[in-house]
Amino acid sequence: MPTEAIPNERLQFHCMDVQVHQHTFAQDVADGLTAPQKWLPPKYFYDERGSQLYEQICALPEYYPYRAELEILGTYAAEIHAEIGHLALVEFGSGSATKTRHLLSAYEWEGQPFRYCPVDISREILQDTAHRLLQEYSQVEIRAMHADFAGQPEVIQAFQLEKKAVAFLGSSLGNFTPVESFEFLRRTAAIMGPEDVFLLGIDLKKSSVILVPAYDDAQGVTAAFNLNILYRINRELGGRFDPQRFEHLALYNDEQGCIEMHLRSRQAQRVPIAKIEQVVPFGKDETIHTESSYKYSLDEVRDLGYQANLVLRRTWFDARRYFLLALFRPS
């Protein structure tokens, strides 16, 4: 993994190979759009535009998870930091690190140098955030990593940290299937030392009356976020999607305990995608399943951790108990 030289002694930047990334996108699109239930992996939402749209989603009145987690971090940052101690903070899916700033401030107030290691799939947001944080925090040393960490949490071993706190916030674990979540936690636990901690931010189960509007907002920002994946296929893979011929769909799957997002074809159509050498047929109302967002109960979170060799030690909730911040130690 090459390290890009950026002239700042407090910043190191690790990059993943873009060629590999391109190949994977084409392969995943080919696999997903030729399956009986068409699907696309949600990680491809997060190109530059998608990441900006996600930031906008977080500001929507209907999208409570962001504010609920922010409330927890704003209220309990000092307590959480006391529990973590002075460990280097590694964050999977760091994005703009807006919420994490509460924790970073608690580190900064100690008045000693500390290490923050953000890992994100969006290179632009990662670079931008790293530079902003260097200006905002005089004590921070940043080692940033551009990586697709979802199937390989071991990428963080490249940081070569003796002890660490690993954070996975924003309920991003909810976008993994239950099997993927288990594997991700198990493999993360396997690379943790006895004094390391794992901090998980996860959305809790609640009524679909609250859940569905959070993923189908009145302003249509989530719809634009969902449809953006078609623009990305057009741009990067020579696709000929007309996004106006698709509509955003969000529903709560009670049996699975997840919100599902789909793109529904408004008409029968055939869409050529040059780079995968396919013409993809769609029936009227046929959907592409683009995301699942699993919601957990406290017991499910505890059990999932336990099976993955992580013991739940502390929990923090927002006032409405919509969201959970859970601290685990390896068993």
Give contact residues for ligand AVI (rule: CB under 6 A): 57, 65, 170-172, 174-175, 215, 222, 291, 293
Q: Tell me the closest approach of the beta carbon of residue 168 to ligand AVI, in angstroms.
A: 10
Nearer to ligand AVI by C-beta: 140 or 214? 214
Residue corresponding to tokens 């951790």: 305
Residue 67 and residue 138 in contact, taking contact as beta carbons nearer than 8 Å = no
Q: Tell me the closest approach of the beta carbon of residue 174 to ligand AVI, in angstroms.
A: 5
Q: Tell me the closest approach of the beta carbon of residue 52 to ligand AVI, in angstroms.
A: 13
| Closest residue by Cα to residue 94 from 12, 213, 201, 193 | 201
Nearer to ligand AVI by C-beta: 59 or 78? 59
Q: Tell me the closest approach of the beta carbon of residue 78 to ligand AVI, in angstroms.
A: 25
Nearer to ligand AVI by C-beta: 172 or 287? 172
Nearer to ligand AVI by C-beta: 96 or 171? 171
CB atoms within 10 A of CB 43: 20
Q: Tell me the closest approach of the beta carbon of residue 95 to ligand AVI, in angstroms.
A: 8
Q: Tell me the closest approach of the beta carbon of residue 149 to ligand AVI, in angstroms.
A: 14
- H/E element, 213: helix 208-214
Ramachandran assignment for 312, one of left (phi > 0), alpha (psi -120 to 50 degrees), beta (any other):
beta
For 227-258, b/e burial (b = at least 16 CB within 10 A) is bbbbbbbbebbebebebebbbbbbebeeeebb
Tokens of 8: 């700042």
Residue 326 and residue 315 in contact, taking contact as beta carbons nearer than 8 Å = yes
Nearer to ligand AVI by C-beta: 92 or 215? 215
Nearer to ligand AVI by C-beta: 12 or 94? 94
CB atoms within 10 A of CB 314: 15
